[in-house]
A = this chain, B = another copy of it.
Amino acid sequence: MTALSDGEATVDAAPAREHQQAGTTDLQALFAPRGVLVVGASADPDKLGGAMARALSAAPVPVALVNSRGGPGMHTTAAEAADHVRRGGGSPDLAVVCVPAPACADVVEACAEQGVSAVLVCAGGFSEAGGDGVEHERTLRQAVARTGVRLLGPNTSGFFVPAAGLRASFVPGAAHLRPGGVAVVAASGGLNHALAFGLARHGSGLSLGVGIGSGLDVTAVDVLEHLAADPGTRAVALHLETVPDGPALLAAVRRTTRRLPVVVLVVGRHDVSGFAASHTGALATSWRTTRALLRQAGAVVVDREDDLVTAAAVLAQTRSAARPRPGAALVTAQAGPGLVVADVLHEAGVHVPELGSTTRATLGDLLPPLTYQLNPVDTGRPGPRHGEVVAAVAGDPAVDVVAVYALTEPVVDLPAAVAAARAACPVVLGLDGPSDEVVPALEAARSAGVPAVVGAQALARATAAVAEDAALRWATTRGAETSRASGAPGSPAGDGPAPVPTVAHGAWDEAAAKEVLDALGVTTPPRQLCHDRSAAHAALDALATGGRAVVVKVSDATIVHKSDVGGVHVGIRDHEALDVALDALAPLGRQPCLVEQMAPGGTDLVVGARRDPVFGPVVLVGLGGTATEVLADVAIAAVPATRAWLEGLPEELRSAALLHGHRGAVPVDTAALAVVLERLGDLLLANPDLAEIEINPLRATAAGLVALDAVVLTQPHASPPDEPRTRTGTRRNDT
């Protein structure tokens, strides 16, 4: 068992100097300024400009206050204030702007003239408010472009860097925040504070806390890039409401997770768009897609902000090595809470392996015979040898993370008992008890370098996060080594991939779409495109062999839903039935028809590739059928993706059991399915005119995957291939 936890738990103690010296990103002036101007400052602490001035006065760099109307301690111009900062030995890097929206652009210009290169704008009242706000935003945007300053906001309550004593926040309570290893990157200034205070209750300090606000210039992407190089940060807690630039976000998360765990909460499962728009000026992006793609990029995705706090706090202290399927173990002193933990781990899809015989023999010596010892291990009340029990479990070769639960009791020093086991693999301690006992125990755990949380639920969520992080590290590093060249068994593409065909803008009927599939190496049924009755009857003779029937379909690129207009006739075995079908097609016009051999029964899937408006090229897979569609049970991945990720994709479906031969159904060859998804992705990436290709159904038969119907949608596209279409206002494109 490789352990990454050793020595990491003390990072919260003194990252301050490192942080201030790091400064290699262009957000240096924002997060580590050598001097600060507060513009719109006030002597009244109840006012925004007063609260901000008071908060920043604690910074160990020169701070100058600006108010055009003057007042005690106020400079009346940015120039005066900048001079004051310089005379104090600083440099006016950052301006914190507390004036209303209409005045912001001028303030930015004036500050930039004085050498300011970073600006925080707190006010709202820009485009999210409509009306004049749209114009205020335009002029502010122009000022940023003209001056080249980096601007955080508008519409945010600011940021804090506790190790640097820097609080650009008008919430006075931010003064209580301590330095530490977690960075909070929140869409909302309010949530930045809420998460920071939540982490503080967990005993976790912050390396940085940022509320992005409207994200006019500095976005979560910029802050992630900054953090990826910040030695003081050990984990990132990311909160997202909208995603203005999907591919950039995914790239930033990929880069960041190479070094740091990133835990993310995506808000906006439900459409509260009226309220959301009032807040952010943009509608929510797709909740499901955002979550799926962030996970693929390596981020641990959580459902609740309290779980975000727990997971980030624990992952900042301990991280498991990359594993394809990390094993979690539970050592509990009380069975009831242990069942809660086990239930959550199962729900989260965490592997809870049975312990090996060596471990069980050791446990047999240490524990009374009545207790359950396979995993979970139910110890009963902890005894003096509790540490040996935990160490034995942590040392099991199948175990990559251990959760230890107990009520606080005087019998045993739990943090000490757990600390020894950390040499083998990460161990998380969960405690319940009266505050008078839990608080000192948490402090002791902290001192001993043991990540500790309160309650069974938090323990389970933290343990699941450590396991998920380890699995994603494997998928984004080691899993990526399974290259395309490895050739999945059963690949319809044969030994090597065929060249990617060209899809130009135009009208694509089913026959043409299937030719593309053929060229991709995706199996389609034998068929003939027939332009008259005699050709159709000849096709029947050729195809209705070996007991197979044929299906006759109208072939017209303008008819997308053929069944809905009576354009599909199945089960045709003889010429009489064929004539009936052809007669029925006649009212649809004089198009050709497609006569196709009917495929054997099987399990129907829907697969496709399309351009997500936020994230660009993606592939999707789901089960066929209306219920599945209504339940939105679709798995999605950005492309290009690793073969291993695509193979695992169908497992994300709630209906995944259907893929494994439920009730005698044909099981799905997921390796072959991954190749189909990969090829569809390749097609999309290579053809900028291709808007979407969908195979519905792709039938899993005993003989393999067969594409029974396909739709190709195109649109003229001027950009070079692979360039995602970004937009400032994103839209919700699924539920």
Contact = CB atoms under 8 A, between A and B. Distances in A.
A347 B269 contact: yes
Contact of A631 (B197, B338, B655): B655
Interface string A154-176: 00010000000000001111011
A46 B383 CA distance: 10
Given A336-B186, A630-B655, A346 B434 contact: no
A239 B336 contact: yes
18 contacts: A48-B381, A129-B370, A171-B433, A173-B437, A175-B434, A189-B336, A190-B333, A191-B340, A193-B433, A194-B336, A269-B347, A272-B342, A275-B339, A275-B342, A278-B371, A305-B456, A626-B658, A630-B662
Contacts of A663: 626
Which 6 interchain pairs have the tightest Cβ spacing? Answer: A188-B336, A190-B334, A176-B434, A270-B346, A191-B336, A279-B335
A658 B630 contact: yes
A525 to B, nearest CB: 23
A343 interface: yes
Given A268-B343, A275-B339, A407 B173 contact: yes
A113 to B, nearest CB: 30
Interface in A264-278: 267-272, 274-276, 278
Interface in A238-254: 239, 241
B626 A457 contact: no
Contact of A625 (B274, B347, B454, B625): B625
Given A46-B411, A306-B457, 15 more contacts: A171-B409, A175-B434, A176-B436, A186-B336, A190-B333, A197-B407, A267-B336, A270-B343, A270-B346, A272-B342, A275-B339, A278-B378, A305-B455, A623-B627, A631-B655
Contacts of A129: 370
Given A239-B336, A631-B633, A432 B197 contact: yes
A interface residue count range (under 10 / 10 to 19 / 20 to 34 / 35 or more) = 35 or more
Contacts of A171: 407, 409, 433
Interface in A453-489: 454-458
A265 to B, nearest CB: 8
A179 interface: no
Contacts of A200: 434-435
Contacts of A409: 171-173
A336 B374 CA distance: 44
Nearest to A435: B201
A451 to B, nearest CB: 18
Contacts of A376: 272, 275
Contacts of A633: 627, 631
Contacts of A454: 201
Nearest to A304: B457
Most chain B CB atoms below 10 A, which of A124, A190, A193, A306: A190
Given A275-B378, A457-B305, A631-B631, A432 B336 contact: no
A374 B457 contact: no
A177 interface: yes
Nearest to A571: B571
A125 interface: yes
Contacts of A458: 306
Interface in A622-660: 623, 625-628, 630-631, 633, 654-655, 657-658
A277 B627 CA distance: 36
A304 B341 CA distance: 10
Interface string A405-446: 001111100000000000000000000111111100000000
Nearest to A369: B129
Contact of A267 (B197, B269, B274, B340): B340
A361 B643 CA distance: 58
A177 B434 contact: yes
A256 to B, nearest CB: 22
A115 interface: no
A654 B189 CA distance: 34
Interface in A318-348: 333-340, 342-343, 346-347
Interface string A698-733: 000000000000000000000000000000000000
A338 B275 contact: yes
A378 B630 CA distance: 33
Contact of A241 (B272, B306, B336): B336
A371 B378 CA distance: 53
A200 B439 CA distance: 14
A574 to B, nearest CB: 13
